[in-house]
Amino acid sequence: MTEPLPAPAPLTGTPSGAPGVATAQWVQQDSAWVLGLGGEWRGHRAALPDAPGALVQGEVRFDTTALSSWDAALASTLWQRLNALTRPPVTIDLQGLPAGLRDILSMALTETPAAAAPRPDAGRIARVGASTQAWWDDGRRSLTFVGEVLLSVGRLLRGQSGMRWSDLAWQVEQTGPRSLPIVALVSFLVGLIVAYMGAAQLQRFGAQNYIADLVTVGVVREVAALLVGIVLAGRVGAAFAAQIGSMRANEEVDALTTLGINPVDFLVLPRVLALLIVGPLLTAFAALVGMAVGWLVAVGLYGVTPLEYVYASAQALTLPHVLIGLLKGTVYAVLVALAGCLQGMSAGRSAQAVGDATTAAVVQAIVWMVVAASVLTVVFQQLDW
């Protein structure tokens, strides 16, 4: 049984009943409500009549047999009315609309959050799932990149790599000697803190003679490598990401591929090998600076004789401590290079994307270093090294 609502006034300024008048009327048919549209809706900007107050459940349909023409304005007004209804138990059937109008509304209502009306629990689960998927994709991308670098190293050993040795020498010069001033400054200040705070505690027990042992073992085994890694992450890792990311944005990486040059061989491998070379050297330099600061603190502030400090440092400086410190510095440097090159090769093609890649390179390098430091420390302690 059809029960039409009272017919509304025409929606245009055209007199009622004149040809081309845009009309709209809600009609109830059993458990469904039908919105009948008629006349000329092209260029019409008036709002559609509100949905009936009784429309709290059931189905919404459309009757457009009398519709002569329409444009985007009708799609916009329909979306405004239907957006508030797209939630259970009300369902919307768009089959009665013209094909073009039906496609527009179908996409608009599907992309509208209210159309999906997710439950709060479903939304949280979806966010957790999206985060997990993103984490998994990042991990897989990182492992894939490491595998590509290892394959590039294999090609280099077989003499089939596209890496230029001049690029390697340039990267060594940029990452090694140019990093010495900041490494020296940071090592000096941190070594001063370690020596002073450690000596202050040892003085309470009259054990100033052990300042050399504390500073030497702590700086050589742990502190120097970690300081070098952090400095390289901020200075070199960010530079790697910005350089390679800018090349991607300018399509230079694509040009290399087009020319038959492997970008990993040409761009990534020289940078990774450069940090592999300079990592242990910078670590040794930072350790020497830290030990020298410890000597200044012990001799100048706590009355330890210079020769006594040197002798105690030589006794504490065993080969395992030196090798472990150099190994950690090398590992941290390689991780910095991998993080910077990975983010650069994965960067988007805009200035914003390059900036994001630069930030991500520093963060990822530091996270990788912390994880590696924890794992290596536990392993060496278990091996009693």
In the chain, residues under CATH classification 3.30.750 are 2-116
pLDDT at 115: 41
Q: Quick check: 118 pLDDT over 60?
A: no
Q: What is the pTM of this model?
A: 0.65
- Give yes or no for a contact between 72 and 43, defined as CB atoms under 8 angstroms apart: no
pLDDT digit string, tens, across residues 68-103: 888 777 777 777 777 766 666 777 888 888 887 877
Tell me the mean pLDDT in the region 142-154: 91
Q: Which residue has the higher pLDDT, 185 or 210?
A: 185
pLDDT at 54: 63
Q: Quick check: 251 pLDDT over 50?
A: yes
Q: Is the peptide bond before 98 cis (omega within 30 degrees of 0)?
A: no
pLDDT at 14: 39
pLDDT at 110: 62
The contacts of residue 273 (CB under 8 Å, 6+ apart) are 168, 171
pLDDT at 334: 95
pLDDT at 131: 81
CATH classification of 2-116, choosing from 3.30.750, 3.30.2000, 2.40.390, 3.30.70? 3.30.750
Q: Quick check: 209 pLDDT over 50?
A: yes
pLDDT at 55: 66
Identify the weakest region by mean pLDDT among 97-111, 229-243, 289-303: 97-111
Q: How confident is the model at residue 22 (pLDDT cuts 50, 70, 90)?
A: confident
